Structure 1
Amino acid sequence: MEILRIPDVERQELIARIPDDESGSLQLGTLGPAGTSSEYVAQMMSHCVADGARLRIVLEDTYERCMDALTESRVDLVLVAHAYPGINAFYMHPGLEPAIVFRGSTPEYGLAIRDDFVFREELLESETVVSHPAPIPLVRYHLGRPLQMATADSTSQAACDVADGRYNVAITNEEAARQHHLKFVYKFSRIPMTWTVFARRKD
């Protein structure tokens, strides 16, 4: 599966926004904390369009806070996944505009647990599984059964909630699972996703 596909015209549009000054950089806001699929795609995008140093990634706890950071000029751009159900607020905001749109696949997703949690499949009947809302449909497609769900602001936060003992099982991605020392008991797949980078409106 192709991980990142940025059309050349979109790549050039993004590069044109980077300051000519060699010491200058763009601040790219996206959903945190570290380990989210948004951060993963932002890092790949950074290396694809620049040398990695000219695009500095700024993580916010929610996409709503990303929008605030953009409208308040604390970041120059914001990367938003099209799976985010509130993305229409970015498109409808009169002070924002889409700068580029591209395709970027997430890390692999799955059900993850702590090392000290003894997992048995029948526990899925009683355990509450924590997840960001966007990947919850993966359960139906990969497990074919409903689960009792709780929601978190990001896949990374879901992994953190399991690492901290608030829950025992999370739907999360392999980056967040690794950072929070979780292990997969079920692996699902990468998610082929489209993304928009928003900027402040020029006119």
Structure 2
Amino acid sequence: METLRISGDEKRALIALVGDGSRRSVKLGTLGPEGTSSEYVARLMTRLFGDQGRFGIVLEETFEHCMGALTEGRIDLALVPHAYANINAFYMNPLLEPSIVFRGSTPEYGLAARSDFAFHEELLFTDTVVTHPAPIPLLEYYFDRPVKLVTTTSTSQAAGQVADGLYNIAITNEQAARQHNLKFVYRFSPIPMTWTVFSKRLEKEGPR
């Protein structure tokens, strides 16, 4: 399965944004903390340039915080997946410019628990599963009964809350599960997805 696919035109647009041959560090913001699918894809992006030192990845608590940092000039670019429910607000913001769009697969997703937790499938329907809102539809496709859910700001934070004992089961990705020493008790798959890199619009368009 593909991991990252950026067309030639989009690569050239990205190079134009970061400055071909420039040694200036480019700050790329996306959703944190470490272990999110957004961070994973952001790091794949930086490898396109060989010299990953050209990029500094800035992890924010929410995508809205990313956009605030972008409009205030604290970061240069912001990466957002199209699975994010409120991405339309960023497209409508007259201060922001959708600069490139590309395909990039997430790490594998699954249900994760602590290594000492005795999981069995019936617990899905009696326990509470913690998750970011975006991957909730996975449960509808893989299970035929309602699951009790609580949401949090990222898949990585969901994994962290299981590691801390707040919950027993999380929907998360393989990267976050490994980081928080969790085990997959049920595997879904990587998620092929499209992404937008936003930049700050140089001139605000006035009313027409």
Instruction: Tell me whether the two structures share a fold, i.e. TM-score over 0.5.
Output: yes
8 A contact 2:125–2:145 mirrored in 1: no
Letter in structure 2 aligned against 1:65 = H
Residue 149 (structure 2) pairs with residue 168 (structure 1):
no
Deviations 1:101-133 (A, max 9, x none): 000000000000001211122212210000000
Identical aligned pairs, as a percentage? 65
8 A contact 1:80–1:87 mirrored in 2: yes
Letter in structure 1 aligned against 2:64 = E
The count of residues paired between Structure 1 and Structure 2 equals 203
The runs of at least 4 consecutive aligned structure 1 residues that moved more than 4 Å come to: none
Corresponding residue of 1:43 = 43
Corresponding residue of 1:77 = 77
Deviations 1:13-35 (A, max 9, x none): 11122246753121000000000
Work out the CA distance in 2 between the residues paired with 1:106 and 1:144: 24
Deviations 1:165-203 (A, max 9, x none): 110000000000000000000000111100000000123
Letter in structure 2 aligned against 1:131 = T
**Equivalences for 1:1-203 in 2 at 5 Å?**
1-19=1-19, 22-203=22-203
- C-alpha RMSD over aligned residues: 1.2
8 A contact 1:3–1:106 mirrored in 2: yes
Letter in structure 2 aligned against 1:116 = D
3-state SS in 2 of match to 1:53: helix
TM-score of the superposed pair, with normalisation by structure 1: 0.96
Work out the CA distance in 2 between the residues paired with 1:107 and 1:200: 29
8 A contact 1:19–1:25 mirrored in 2: no
Letter in structure 2 aligned against 1:153 = T
8 A contact 2:98–2:199 mirrored in 1: yes
Work out the CA distance in 2 between the residues paired with 1:124 and 1:145: 9
3-state SS in 2 of match to 1:9: helix
Letter in structure 2 aligned against 1:115 = S
Shift of 1:49: 3.8
Corresponding residue of 2:206 = none
TM-score of the superposed pair, with normalisation by structure 2: 0.94
Unaligned runs of 5+ in 1: none
3-state SS in 2 of match to 1:17: helix
Unaligned runs of 5+ in 2: 204-208
3-state SS in 1 of match to 2:12: helix
8 A contact 2:112–2:183 mirrored in 1: yes
